[in-house]
Chain A
Amino acid sequence: MKNINDMIMVVILLSVLLSLASSRLITLIKIMAVQGFLVSLLPLLLEHHSSMGSGGLIFFQVMILTKGILIPVLLYVALKRIAIQREIEPIIGYHASLFAGLIIILLSVFITDRLHLAVPSGQELILTTAITTMSAGFFLMMGRKKAITQVIGYLMLENGIFLIGTALIKHFHTVYMVEFGLLLDLLVGVMVMGIILHNINHAFDDIDTDLLNRLKD
């Protein structure tokens, strides 16, 4: 089991790096689909979650469906309506972003090392992955101009927080009804953001957040 876990986490890390380096928005959405799928798969394979009941299994199925399929499809629909394919002129360039991604990984390893948390053996990588995903999400939100990339950054941040949750919190706290609520919030959030995105595109003919500068003091 250990190898599979490590492999998944390495793929998640790679997806983070890839998302920092890609300029095509459709590629970004595909990466998010893979990342969402893996992030929701991971808890199923972790040892302290192995004894879960039927409620848990249903929950994880719903989560895989939502994060791996539903949300990417919503983003895809939003992208199709907008008819913009690339992030042009990001605030931070792609090579610089990739390099920053590597630094983020190093920092995460350092932070994980310093925390001295008792993580079950074979899962040392999960905290590193979680912190990297979170920080990279923040980085995407700040380093890109297109509104849709910011939504993707938010999703990545949310994925990272979810990973931290699964890594740190013991099984008996997990009440699946509560987690359904979390997932529902995320889903509705993406829908609302998608609708606003569509309207921004309609009003400004672009989804550049630089255009949103009318309200100032």
Chain B
Amino acid sequence: MLELIFILPMLTGLVTLAVPPYLGRGVLLVTAILHFQLTIMAWLGKLPVYAERFFSETPEGMLVLLVTSFIFLCIACYSMRYMEETGLSNGTVFPGCMLLFLGTMSMVTLADHPIVLWIAIEATTLVSAPLIFLHHSKEALEATWKYVLICSVGIALALLGCFFITLSIDIAEIEISLSFTFLNQVATQLDPMWLKVGFIFVVIGFGTKMGLAPMHTWLPDAHSQAPCPASALLSGALLNCAFLGIYKVHTVMYLAGLGEFSGNILIGFGLLSMFVAGVFILRQPDYKRLLAYSSIENMGIIAFGVGIGGFALYGAILHMIHHSLIKSSLFLSAGNIHLGFDTKIINRIGGLIKYFPKTFLSFFAGFVGISGLPPFGIFISELFILIGAFQTGHPVSAILFMLSMLLVLAGAAQIFTNMSFGVREHEVLVRENVLRIVPPYILLLASITLCVWMPSAMYTAIMNTIKIIGGTIHG
């Protein structure tokens, strides 16, 4: 049954917390492989839904699930060595919480009932908090506190939004049970006023979790304090899950004929996030925070693309996939650098190409990818979004979009070149290791591969996702 996809990692996660620490790594890897296998089976349609009232197989959910599962597999391989070298394998918290995190995120992707979706997203906050707190430093403590409190309050507002959406059913006096599938069917009859109010609260609530400015304040702290594999998962998978919540409600809005209203809100938040991220990236002293701000920027781009719709919608979905792949690869490379030099300060790092040639390759390629240069997928997705923006008559937004991307590129390019080619003498603490080199390469390769060849099932899933809300790739 389909629910196994999230029940399995949840159970193994709980078990891992209880078993002796030396078993943790094995369980992590085995569960990651099994989870990926289950995901593939679900894609092949071999897993029927058991609790149809709460869960369903939606194309957008399946896309996020596939990306999450693939990234998790790579991160699990990476963690094998990483845990040993950082002493994380002495405790069960890291593998246990990583698995619980995977479980709750998978639950988000399959949820069809708004409240179940809410429960799952709030649960992701709670199980990922120990991951951020793992280093027990004062900074980690602060980051965890901010993360839990800001996200919990934000998500509480999303619950209010869900209640308002339910109210819009009641006012219209429709007798259906609450689920996104049914909401889409009866969208035109729903009460528009309460639907709008509900959407605003949902965007603020899940937007907090997704890292949209101005509710993004927890994100740079959390991403910089968590251990690198956890940061990779936070950035590559968690943000997508929160986005999924907004996307589902946006679909209902579109079908109810309020697409322009919700689209404009998303465009506004998207542009603001890109701009804020660009400003903070320019003079960023910490490379993990830099990557975190870049995530905020990319989430802004996705929200922007979804808000514009049409051609840009295809770009936004592509962007989500490629951002996850490239950003998690970058965080894993950053983990190698952090292990080797034991510092997160950009100014203290130089000569990556001399000390860590293999990490340099993945780090610099990741930078090229995240900046939207070919041959990586973000180039294509941003192009689609840009064309879409001009086509649908948003020239001002499109120009602002280009300006913020330029800002980010300018800021990031200087930092990345300094880190890679700058001259500095270093003492290398931990050497490169094949298990920590290959996963970032695989993630980057996946992004390149998807540019030239995309499995037809995946293409169909993207098309089915965007078809409902007027997305197209035929101009």
A164 to B156, CA, bound (A): 12
A168 to B175, CA, bound (A): 15
A199 to B134, CA, bound (A): 12
A40 to B125, CA, bound (A): 25
A189 to B163, CA, bound (A): 20
Q: A175 touches which one: B53, B122, B139, B159 (CB < 8 A)?
A: B53
Is there contact, CB below 8 Å, between B145 and A189? no
Known contacts A157-B153, A170-B170, A199-B136; A182 and B119 CB within 8 A of each other? yes
- Indicate with 1 or 0, residue by residue over A61-81, a CB within 8 angstroms of chain B CB atoms: 000000000000000000000
Is there contact, CB below 8 Å, between A154 and B138? no
Q: B177 touches which one: A147, A161, A173, A193 (CB < 8 A)?
A: A173
Decide if B253 is an interface residue (CB 8 Å cutoff).
no
A170 to B164, CA, bound (A): 12
A residues in contact with B144, CB < 8 Å = 196
Decide if A114 is an interface residue (CB 8 Å cutoff).
no
Q: B167 touches which one: A147, A169, A189, A204 (CB < 8 A)?
A: A169
B residues in contact with A212, CB < 8 Å = 141-142, 145-146
- Indicate with 1 or 0, residue by residue over B438-473, a CB within 8 angstroms of chain A CB atoms: 000000000000000000000000000000000000
Known contacts A182-B115, A185-B126, A188-B126; A193 and B159 CB within 8 A of each other? no
A residues in contact with B109, CB < 8 Å = none
Is there contact, CB below 8 Å, between A203 and B153? no
Is there contact, CB below 8 Å, between A178 and B141? no
A104 to B144, CA, bound (A): 31
Q: For chain A residues 128-164, which have a beta carbon within 8 Å of chain B? A: 134, 141, 147, 150, 154, 157-158, 161, 164
Q: Which residue of A lies closest to B147 (CB)?
A: A196
Query: Total interface residues on B, using CB and 8 Å?
Result: 47
- Indicate with 1 or 0, residue by residue over B165-201, a CB within 8 angstroms of chain A CB atoms: 0110111000101100000000000000000000000
The B contact surface, by secondary structure, is helix
A residues in contact with B167, CB < 8 Å = 168-169
A residues in contact with B289, CB < 8 Å = 217
Closest CB of chain A to B266's CB: distance in Å? 24
A residues in contact with B156, CB < 8 Å = 154, 157-158, 161
Is there contact, CB below 8 Å, between A169 and B170? yes
Known contacts A173-B177, A214-B138; A178 and B122 CB within 8 A of each other? no
Is there contact, CB below 8 Å, between A185 and B170? no
A residues in contact with B116, CB < 8 Å = 178, 181
Q: B163 touches which one: A150, A168, A196 (CB < 8 A)?
A: A168
A residues in contact with B146, CB < 8 Å = 212, 215
What are 27 inter-chain pairs, A to B, with CB distance below 8 A? A147-B145, A154-B152, A154-B156, A157-B156, A161-B156, A161-B160, A164-B163, A165-B159, A168-B163, A168-B164, A169-B167, A172-B175, A172-B177, A173-B166, A173-B178, A192-B126, A192-B130, A192-B148, A193-B149, A196-B129, A196-B145, A196-B148, A203-B138, A212-B146, A215-B146, A215-B225, A217-B284
Known: A161-B163, A199-B133. 6 other contacts (CB 8 A): A134-B160, A178-B54, A178-B113, A178-B116, A209-B145, A215-B146
